[in-house]
């Protein structure tokens, strides 16, 4: 049986505002996120990354459910939100996901290098390592 006792999936149990917020975040994505999205879709299509995926009270920038991997692109404002980011990362780890963070500047200056790091993490997981 798919879903819970009533047959509802996790997505169907989310408040309607969550899907609206995810859509807004995708539409308002900055250039680093758009650039990385194009690169991930081109270089790692098998990972099936999704954008702005709701997990608990958070939205992951990029998420591959199959590899249990989340990629976050952090702007300059994240320097002042370290405690919030740490709490977010702990929550995502507790949900069973590995989290990789990149600064906007890294994505803009070395997109290929960022994709290589992500591909390496995926390869590491494919070998059956946690």
- pTM as predicted: 0.81
Q: How many domains does the chain have?
A: 1
Mean pLDDT of the chain: 85
| Domain encompassing residue 86 | 30-126
Q: What is the mean pLDDT of the segment spanning 84-94?
A: 90
Nearest in space to 72 (alpha carbons), one of 38, 99, 35: 99
Q: Which helix (H) or strand (E) holds 114?
A: helix 111-126
C-alpha–C-alpha distance, residues 17 and 121, integer Å: 32
Q: Is residue 12 part of a domain?
A: no
Over the stretch 45-65, which tens digit does the pLDDT of each residue have?
Answer: 999 999 999 888 888 999 999
Higher pLDDT, 37 or 22: 37
Q: Answer whether residue 14 is part of any domain.
A: no
């Amino acid at each position: 049986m798919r879903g819970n006792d009533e047959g509802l999936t996790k997505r169907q149990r989310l408040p309607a505002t969550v899907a609206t917020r995810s859509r807004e975040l995708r539409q308002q994505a900055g250039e680093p996120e758009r650039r990385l999205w194009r690169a991930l879709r081109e270089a790692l299509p098998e990972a099936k990354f999704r954008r702005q995926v709701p997990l608990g009270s958070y939205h992951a920038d990029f998420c591959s459910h199959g590899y249990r991997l989340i990629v976050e692109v952090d702007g300059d404002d994240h320097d002042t939100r370290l405690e919030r980011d740490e709490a977010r990362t702990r929550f995502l780890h507790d949900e069973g996901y590995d989290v990789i963070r990149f600064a906007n500047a890294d994505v803009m200056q070395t997109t290929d290098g960022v994709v290589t790091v992500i591909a390496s993490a995926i390869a590491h997981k494919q070998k059956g390592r946690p």
